[in-house]
């Protein structure tokens, strides 16, 4: 199972530049093996164009290396905290994609303005609070993950219906049932971030879409009553 997951994580990482979600080495994908809890993740600072399967790193649920000669992504502690507190997810993506990062740098959530947003995200895409000096100085990457978890708990946000978040002053994270879903959600987040910014440039006072329309579009694709697509 781990060999298959390593192949999937490598393929997912290579999708990021193809989708225009990363520049240089600014991003990472991880996947979790549900049987063992092991996490498979991109190595730190390795260019996508040279990355190969032997570079992929396997760590345990606490982030200790089990397999691989290279250091894992420096964002690994964030991934560890998200997997620990959101046990339903199987893959995580972090990027500095342009449009989502614009919102993260503005420290603002992305309002649900239309059905493209509502098809994937049930409400405003949240942004975390800015990390304190103490949080930044001590275990910064783990504190980033804990800030995401705290934002979801305080806002009573379900990570299943909101599989994305903006880390303030930093960038977006996305997750899903597996690495493929996580990459897809990261790509949709980038599109939604761009649409929202342009919409608000037309009218800065534009209100969020009506709740009944948001619910209709989200639940026609998600949940027991979903009817979008084929059986």
CB 193 within 8 Å of CB 201: no
Which are the contacts of 151, defined by CB distance < 8 A and separation ≥ 6?
Answer: 126, 127, 128, 129, 157, 165
The pair of structure tokens assigned to 133 is: 């000096």
Nearest to 13 by CA among 33, 31, 38: 31
Query: How far is C-alpha 221 from the chain's CA centre?
Result: 20
The pair of structure tokens assigned to 17 is: 């530049």
227 included as an active-site residue: no
Residue tagged active-site, from 48, 55, 119, 140: 119
Distances (CA, A) of 228 to 14, 102, 178, 195, 231: 29, 31, 20, 23, 9
48 included as an active-site residue: no
Catalytic positions are 119, 228
């Amino acid at each position: 199972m781990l060999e298959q997951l390593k192949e999937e994580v490598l393929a997912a990482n290579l999708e990021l530049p193809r989708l225009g979600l990363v520049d240089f080495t600014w991003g990472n994908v991880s996947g979790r093996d549900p049987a063992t809890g092991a996490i498979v993740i991109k190595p730190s600072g390795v260019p996508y164009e040279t990355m190969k399967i032997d570079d992929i790193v396997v760590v345990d649920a606490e982030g200790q290396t089990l397999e691989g000669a290279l250091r894992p992504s420096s964002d690994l502690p964030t991934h560890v905290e998200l997997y620990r507190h959101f046990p339903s997810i199987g893959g995580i993506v972090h990027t500095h994609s342009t449009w989502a990062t614009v919102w993260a740098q503005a420290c603002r959530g992305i309002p649900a303005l239309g059905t493209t947003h509502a098809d994937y995200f049930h409400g405003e895409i949240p942004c975390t609070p800015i990390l304190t000096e103490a949080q930044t100085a001590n275990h910064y990457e783990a504190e980033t993950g804990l800030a995401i978890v705290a934002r979801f708990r305080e806002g009573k946000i379900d990570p299943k219906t909101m599989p994305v978040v903006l880390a303030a002053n930093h960038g977006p994270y996305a997750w899903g049932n597996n690495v493929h879903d996580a990459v897809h959600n990261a790509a949709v987040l980038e599109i939604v971030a761009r649409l929202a910014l342009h919409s608000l440039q037309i009218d800065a006072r534009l209100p969020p879409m009506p709740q009944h329309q948001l619910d209709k579009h989200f639940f026609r694709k998600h949940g027991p009553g979903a009817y979008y697509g084929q059986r």
